[in-house]
Chain A
Amino acid sequence: MLEKIGRLIDSDVLVVGGGAGGLWAALSAKRHFPEGRITLVDAHMVGRTGHTAFSNAWMVMVSPEDDLDACVRDIVEGNEWIAEQELIREVLSLSYGQVLDLERMGLRFAREGGQFVRRPTRGLRVTKVLKPVGGGLEFCWVLRKALESEGIRIVERIFVTDLLQDDHGWIAGAAGIDGRSGEFCVLRAKATVLATNSVTFRAGFVRDLTGTGPVLAYRAGAAITNAEFGYLRPATPKFYFEGITFAIQDGAKFVNAAGEPFMEKYEPDWADQADVQLISKAMVMEKRAGKAPLYLDMSLVPEEKREDYLHSTVAWMDYFYKKLGERARIDMFGRTEYYPFYQMTKMAIKTDSGCRASLPGLFAAGLAQASCATHFAGFHIGACNGTGWIAGRSAAALAREVQAPAVSEAGAASLKDKIRRGFGEGHDRAEDELLFELQKLIFRYDLSILKTEERLSEAVGALAGIEEKLAATKAGHTHGFVRLRETEAMVEAAKLIFIASRARQESRLSHIREDFPKRDDRNWLRWVLLRRRGGEAEVSTEPIATPLVPPPREASP
Chain B
Amino acid sequence: MIVDIELDKCTSCGLCDPICPADVIHMERNGDREFPAIKYPEHCVTCFNCEIFCPTQCIDVHPIVRRRPLPW
Contacts and interface: CB of A to CB of B under 8 A. Distances in A.
B55 interface: no
Contacts of B48: 315-316, 319-320
Interface range for A: 35 or more
Interface stretch (A46-54, A56-64, A69-77, A165-173): A46-54
Interface string A309-344: 000000110011001100110100000000111100
A26 B22 CA distance: 24
B68 interface: yes
Contacts of B43: 479, 483
Contacts of A239: 63, 65
Interface string A127-163: 0000000000000000000000000000011000000
B46 A205 contact: yes
Interface string B37-51: 001101101111101
A444 B21 contact: no
A204 B23 contact: no
Interface string A177-197: 001100000000000000000
Interface in A440-482: 440, 443-445, 448-449, 479, 482
A472 to B, nearest CB: 22
Nearest to A317: B48
Contact of B45 (A206, A327, A448, A449): A206
Contacts of B23: 44, 179-180, 479, 482
Nearest to B64: A328
Q: Chain B: interface secondary structure?
A: loop
A49 B70 contact: no
Contact of A157 (B18, B49, B68, B69): B18
Contacts of A320: 46, 48, 63
A179 B43 CA distance: 15
Contacts of B49: 48-49, 316
B31 interface: no
Contact of A444 (B51, B61, B65, B71): B71
A237 interface: yes
A156 B46 CA distance: 21
A50 B53 CA distance: 16
Given A209-B45, A287-B72, A432-B42, A238 B65 contact: yes
B69 A436 contact: yes
Contacts of B18: 44-45, 156-157
B62 interface: yes
B52 interface: yes
Interface in A12-63: 44-45, 48-50, 54
A400 interface: no
A54 B47 contact: yes
Contacts of A328: 62-64
Interface of B: 18-23, 26, 39-40, 42-43, 45-49, 51-53, 61-66, 68-72
The 10 closest A-B pairs by CB, nearest first: A49-B21, A445-B71, A208-B45, A316-B48, A319-B48, A440-B69, A323-B63, A206-B47, A45-B18, A439-B69
